[in-house]
């Protein structure tokens, strides 16, 4: 009972901080305090040098006319439709449904295994891995209802999406590699129109996921995320050049000149699958180790 009460109090404090904090702390004070809490050092948003500082500084100062573009890039469904039009040669996970409410989800016709996601947000908190043999419909419905109750916080999303969000749930094919495992996620980091780095996420949704950085020539980099190991010996993907080109083309054609875009791709056999995009990883407060944060920052030139 004590643990449950502690969790309730922590969640209440977090909600109060995210919703009310930006209203009462003047100017950029809330963002500086939150940055220090999450990243570990005080940011310089007037003369940013690290990647986190630059992403947060640019996004907070972005012109209102750019907000629809930022929202589109973060909406997994909206950006996928745009990429389909721009690059029909790419493959996409099969889509089983799009729903605004739990009543619209075709539970009876779902495959034995699939992935159910919110169109906004990222990470495990907005994702359900459904396996018919491990999860009952009642439990699945409860989890879907919980996802659909998600509301963007004032702090987390208002600065980035200045108009009404259309929050939806969708079900898609569970992609597996040739060995029947979750495929590696290749995150192409495009700085000012050029693909400079690839972050490889392996073992996602397992007990020991890894995050490993490579440069554009597939040389491993001694750069790390806090709390994540690197994986030695990851083979160079056979279509690395195509991945880098796709990242650069989408950064040019989707964003209209944003200084940074991350494009997530999967290689399964000879096919490249599109995942999603992100123009501000971690809201500009990703938990990089300090060397990585400033190394990436050197590559990003703000307008």
What does the pLDDT average to over 216-231? 90
**Mean pLDDT, the chain, as a whole number?**
87
Q: pLDDT of 113-144, one tens digit each?
A: 999 999 987 666 688 999 999 999 899 999 99
Identify the pLDDT of residue 291.
87
Identify the pLDDT of residue 66.
76
Identify the pLDDT of residue 149.
85
Q: pLDDT of 272-293, one tens digit each?
A: 999 999 988 888 898 888 888 9
Residue 199 confidence class, pLDDT cut points 50, 70, 90: very high
Task: Give me the torsion for CA of 235, 239, 245, 250, rounded to 10°.
Answer: -100
Q: pLDDT of 44-63, one tens digit each?
A: 999 999 999 999 998 888 76
Q: How far is CA 229 from CA 50, 202, 210, 216, in A?
A: 22, 10, 5, 21
Cα–Cα–Cα angle for 279, 67, 264, rounded to 5 degrees: 25
What does the pLDDT average to over 23-33? 79
Identify the pLDDT of residue 154.
55
Positive or negative, the CA dihedral 23, 26, 32, 37 is negative
Positive or negative, the CA dihedral 215, 219, 220, 223 is negative
Query: What b-and-e string marks burial along 231-255, b requiring 16 or more CB atoms within 10 Å of the CB?
Result: beebeebebbeebbebbbbbbeebb
Identify the pLDDT of residue 159.
47
Q: Which of 24-28, 178-182, 239-243 has the highest mean pLDDT?
A: 239-243
Whole-angstrom Cα Rg for the chain: 20
What does the pLDDT average to over 20-26? 69
Identify the pLDDT of residue 1.
55
Q: pLDDT of 249-276, one tens digit each?
A: 999 999 888 899 999 999 999 999 999 9
Identify the pLDDT of residue 60.
83
Residue 213 confidence class, pLDDT cut points 50, 70, 90: very high
Identify the pLDDT of residue 23.
67
What does the pLDDT average to over 190-207? 91
Identify the pLDDT of residue 227.
84
For residue 215, pLDDT beyond 50: yes
What does the pLDDT average to over 74-98? 95
The larger pLDDT score, comparing residue 107 to residue 70, is at 107
Q: pLDDT of 137-193, one tens digit each?
A: 899 999 999 998 877 655 554 445 545 668 899 999 999 998 899 999 999 999 999
Identify the pLDDT of residue 61.
82
Identify the three-state secondary structure at position 4. helix
Q: What percent of the chain has pLDDT over 70?
A: 85
Identify the pLDDT of residue 233.
93
Query: Residue 279 and residue 67: Cα distance in Å, rounded?
Result: 12
């Amino acid at each position: 009972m004590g643990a449950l009460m502690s969790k309730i109090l922590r969640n209440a404090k977090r909600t109060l901080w995210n919703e009310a904090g930006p209203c009462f702390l003047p100017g950029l004070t809330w963002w500086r305090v939150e940055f220090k809490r999450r990243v570990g050092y005080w940011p310089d948003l007037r003369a940013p040098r690290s990647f986190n500082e630059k992403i947060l500084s640019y996004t907070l100062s972005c012109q209102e006319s750019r907000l629809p573009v930022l929202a589109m890039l973060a909406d997994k469904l909206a950006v996928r439709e745009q990429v389909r039009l721009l690059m029909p040669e790419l493959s996409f996970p099969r889509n089983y449904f799009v729903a605004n409410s739990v009543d619209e989800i075709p539970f009876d016709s779902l495959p034995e295994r699939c992935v159910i996601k919110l169109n906004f947000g990222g990470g495990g908190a907005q994702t359900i891995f459904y396996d018919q043999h491990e999860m009952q419909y009642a439990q699945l419905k409860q989890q879907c209802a919980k996802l659909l109750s998600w509301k963007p916080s004032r702090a987390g999303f208002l600065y980035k999406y200045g108009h009404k969000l259309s929050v939806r749930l969708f079900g898609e094919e569970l992609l597996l590699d040739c060995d029947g495992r979750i495929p590696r996620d290749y995150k192409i980091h495009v700085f000012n129109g050029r693909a400079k780095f690839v972050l490889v996420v392996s073992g996602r949704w397992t007990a020991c996921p890894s995050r490993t950085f490579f440069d554009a020539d597939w040389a491993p980099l001694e750069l790390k995320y806090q709390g994540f190991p690197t994986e030695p010996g990851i083979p160079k993907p056979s279509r690395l050049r195509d991945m880098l080109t796709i990242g650069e083309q989408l950064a040019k054609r989707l964003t209209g000149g944003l200084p940074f875009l991350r494009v997530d791709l999967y290689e399964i056999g000879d096919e490249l699958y599109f995942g999603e995009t992100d123009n501000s990883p971690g809201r500009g407060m990703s938990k990089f180790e300090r060397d990585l944060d400033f190394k990436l920052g050197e590559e990003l030139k703000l307008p």
